[in-house]
Amino acid sequence: MSDTTSKRVEEALNKHAKGYNCAQSVSCAFCDKTGIDEETMFRFTEGMGLGMGGMEGTCGAISAAAVLSGLKNSSARLDRPDSKRSSHEASKKCLSEFKEQNKSVICKDLKGIETGKVLRSCNDCIADAVRIIDHELFGEE
């Protein structure tokens, strides 16, 4: 893992410790790559915490990949949207890698809510998501 990625993981974990949700922690650690200020990114991703609001949905940490892939890949051609495919593919690649590594992308499964077996802590999900996103979307090793 590169020094840049290690610093980004540390930044995301520090944000989580300050009270950012998992999606905010990860997304805001990439503001320098997206051109979005942290306050706006924080607001964009606020509803994505706690497994999309109720632990039933996708882990917020890796959900950040969908937001970030759109910000990285979108052509923003409102009259002729033409970049959805590249954004979808990038997001899917991140989610697939996260699922392969952690056996699920669903918050309650990762936390072991029904099974009593925790697959991954929030901090570990955040660190994994940052590493995957940094590599898959932004080319850091």
Task: Note the pLDDT of residue 67.
Answer: 93
Domain that holds residue 8: 3-138
What is the signed CA dihedral for 23, 26, 31, 36, rounded to 10 degrees?
-10
User: Exposed (0-12), middle (13-18) or buried (19+): which is 62, by Cβ within 10 Å?
Assistant: buried
Task: Note the pLDDT of residue 53.
Answer: 65
Read off the pTM. Answer: 0.93
Assigned token pair, 130: 């940052």
Q: Report the sign of the C-alpha dihedral through residues 76, 77, 79, 82, in that order.
A: negative
Q: How many domains does the chain have?
A: 1
What gap in Å lies between CA 85 and CA 63, rounded to an integer? 17
pLDDT in tens, the chain (141 residues): 789 999 999 999 999 999 999 999 999 999 999 999 999 999 999 988 766 667 667 899 999 999 999 999 988 888 998 988 999 899 999 999 999 999 999 988 999 988 999 999 999 999 999 999 999 999 876
Task: Note the pLDDT of residue 52.
Answer: 66
